A = this chain, B = another copy of it.
Amino acid sequence: MISTKGRYALRVMVDLAERPGEGFVPLRDIAKRQGISEKYLESILKSLVKNGLLRGLRGKGGGYKLTRGPEEYTVREILALTEESLAPVACLEEGAELCPRRDICKTLDLWRGLYDMINKYFDGITVADLAAGGGSRDI
């Protein structure tokens, strides 16, 4: 289950991708457009800045901007930062202690296959894809 943190992070990235050349965009504007609490969003953007996906500038005229082109961010990269883990089961999480049943477990391959599939899916979609494709296709 993807948390609001990850979902909000993606929406912010798309929001910024839709404003190329506008320089630094203040959190306030993003939060208002996206209908997300400013304070909560702040904590999310902090981790994106810390990991170099965004640049933040303080003071008047400050805000946030992308550090690369939208096509250079994969969905996976963003979710990996904001989610605790993308692994579908605890025993596949990084740093998990080795399951004593791993050699006889009849379900382990099921989870490995799922994990692989999800990772590939998220790897294959960029912020640019979301900005271009998403939204109301149901016309």
Contact = CB atoms under 8 A, between A and B. Distances in A.
A118 interface: yes
Contacts of A49: none
A72 B4 CA distance: 36
The complex is assembled from copies of this chain, and their number is 2
A14 interface: yes
Interface stretch (A23-31, A39-47, A61-69, A105-113): A105-113
B134 A110 contact: yes
A137 interface: yes
A97 interface: no
Interface in A80-105: 85, 87-90, 101, 103-105
A127 B110 CA distance: 11
A2 interface: yes
A15 B118 CA distance: 27
A54 interface: no
